[in-house]
Structure 1
Amino acid sequence: MFFNFRNRNKTIRELRKKQGYTAKELAIKIKVSTSLISKIDNRKLKHIPEPLKSKLLPSLKGNK
């Protein structure tokens, strides 16, 4: 819960780099295409649609 409040204004790229993932590694981990990760890389976490956000959050938190 606190992860969401603290990091909702950060871009996916910032959060991804903080965990040490490339776009390709993150795409494989959450089972989506690399092009989708590239499209959302510059968007803030709060602007990501819910089905994708629920896949991204565990990986970006470092839980999985």
Structure 2
Amino acid sequence: MDEMRKPTEDQKEAYDAGARAFQGGGDNAKNPHAEGSDVAKYWEHGFLDAQKASCHGR
């Protein structure tokens, strides 16, 4: 089984930035990172997690 890697500082920052982007711009926010890059994926996950939390009243 593959061992889970801890996210890098850049990835953590991208995740947090994605969450803040949803909170500040809603669905219109754009990912500033290169498509397909690790940090772009973390940004997207942060954005989507914030969106889900918003739908569930968190």
Structure 1 length as normaliser, TM-score? Answer: 0.27
Find the structure with the greater CA-based Rg: 2
Q: Give me the TM-score of the superposition, normalised by structure 2.
A: 0.28
